[in-house]
Structure 1
């Protein structure tokens, strides 16, 4: 059971981080089209909550490097989301956080796969 837990959370975190990053990159382009779309930071908050859940499950069993990458990346994402929700300013740290999350989950997945084979 423990052998499948970490890959599951890596895949969950990786897919969530990728979807979130695509959302953050594509959505500003969609707002200039006359569809009447407005950005809602609650969507970003939902992605971040899923990411936090995956990270808490992963950092207990991962290396210091992977844990550091994931925690710093999630911190950047939360700073950006809270800045937008509280101060109504867009902070580009969310992009760096999303890229860091993808890198951290991929690295952890590869290290975990390497250890089990």
Structure 2
């Protein structure tokens, strides 16, 4: 029986979304301090790309609810990142998308874990 690698991608997605969420929440606080740190939207783009890679691999073996949550969350993240890159407009969609990504990956991980028993 072939072992599924989906839990690996779920862990990658959960970690990427969690680190991105912490980055998005903590970074504005760091800009207040006179450390000379400026915001770089390409870091957000890196997290979004890692998340997109994990979602592409996961959607092949998931149910409709998990796929819907992950795709909608990723769309919100990409809209936010592209608005920041192209229009220099900061939106809160990235927070909603990050939380949705974490929830979607946890649901998918639990679903696959219960199927393996």
Q: Scaled by the length of structure 1, what TM-score is found? A: 0.97
d(CA) in 1 for partners of 2:107, 2:2: 18
1:51 pairs with 2:56: no
Q: Specify every segment of 5 or more residues in structure 2 that has no aligned partner in the other structure, as ranges.
A: none
Cα drift, residue 2 of structure 1: 4.8
Cα distance, 1:95–1:2 mapped onto 2, change above 3 Å: farther
**SS of equivalent residue, structure 2 residue 3:** helix
- Is structure 2 residue 106 aligned with structure 1 residue 72? no
What is the total number of aligned residue pairs between the two structures?
Answer: 117
Q: Residue deviations 1:4-39, cap 9 Å, x none?
A: 400000000000000000000000000000001111
TM-score (ref. length: structure 2) = 0.97
Matched, 1:3 2:14: no
CA distance in 2, matches of 1:2, 1:43: 35
Structure-2 separation of matches of 1:116 and 1:31: 46
CA distance, structure 2, for counterparts of residue 4 and residue 28 of structure 1: 39
CA distance in 2, matches of 1:48, 1:2: 29
Q: CA RMSD in A?
A: 1.0
1:61-115 deviation line (CA, Å, top 9, x unaligned)? 0000000000000000000000000100101000000000000000000000001
Secondary structure in structure 1 of the residue aligned to 2:23: helix
